[in-house]
Structure 1
């Protein structure tokens, strides 16, 4: 084998491993309830990044298992609970949210993930904001 071919092969393998940049990323969730006086800003981690996918022009000719549309999704996560301030006594002030511990490239599981990218900005407060201190 020529040295050029070996170097090309090694660079291709290295790039293939680094091209999947799926990892926990810092994210701020804004949570509010109609009955409560404040909006709570919660700092957490979510899975975000790039995953290698395969998509063929001959989709109709191949089995669905031959196509790979991987997304950056949770490998391991835990839930934490925060208290929304300014809630009346008759309202439950608790909000549970996921924290990404580790991530992987894989199929999107709609049981715990939003698999559609929403282009509308919905993560904002309409009430005075408080920062969640854990």
Structure 2
């Protein structure tokens, strides 16, 4: 077979097997009713494309065989910040996950939201303070 044709076939194969699922920067806004401020926290989340295939024989397969791959956490750590301006009877701490690495895998509804919905506004209703993280 001609080397150029082999290179094209190899490129198509690699494209089909690779994914673009990786940690990406994301800002979350955190506030509590009992606190005077909102924090803008820089973190990383897992996002991107995972290779999936839709089966034509859906009625013949088990439900578990129909789940598609999603981009999810492989390794993560939790960090904690203190929300400023909280009243004395309020716990001022907020813990959030930080993606270290990501993977494509089947979505587990026991601990993940597997439905992609419209992006909701991520904003503060109180004065904003940037996190020192």
Where does residue 43 of structure 1 map in the other structure? Answer: 42
CA-atom RMSD in angstroms: 1.8
Change (3 A) 1:109 1:54: same
User: Displacement, 1:4?
Assistant: 5.2
* Structure 2 alignment gaps of length 5 or more: none
- Asked if structure 1 preserves the Cα contact closer than 8 Å seen for 2:67 and 2:107, the reply is no
The CA deviation string for residues 75-114 of structure 1, in whole angstroms up to 9 with x for no partner, is: 0001000100110111000000000000000012334432
Distance 1:90 1:81 in 2: 19
The answer as to 2:12 corresponding to 1:12 is yes
> What TM-score comes out, normalization by structure 1 length?
0.88
Distance 2:67 2:123 in 1: 34
- Asked if structure 2 preserves the Cα contact closer than 8 Å seen for 1:54 and 1:67, the reply is no
* Structure 1 alignment gaps of length 5 or more: none
Where does residue 123 of structure 2 map in the other structure? Answer: 124
Distance 1:62 1:46 in 2: 32
The CA deviation string for residues 34-70 of structure 1, in whole angstroms up to 9 with x for no partner, is: 0100111111000000000011122112234543500
Count of residues paired in the alignment: 133
> What TM-score comes out, normalization by structure 2 length?
0.89
Query: Match of 1:50, SS?
Result: coil
Distance 1:55 1:124 in 2: 36
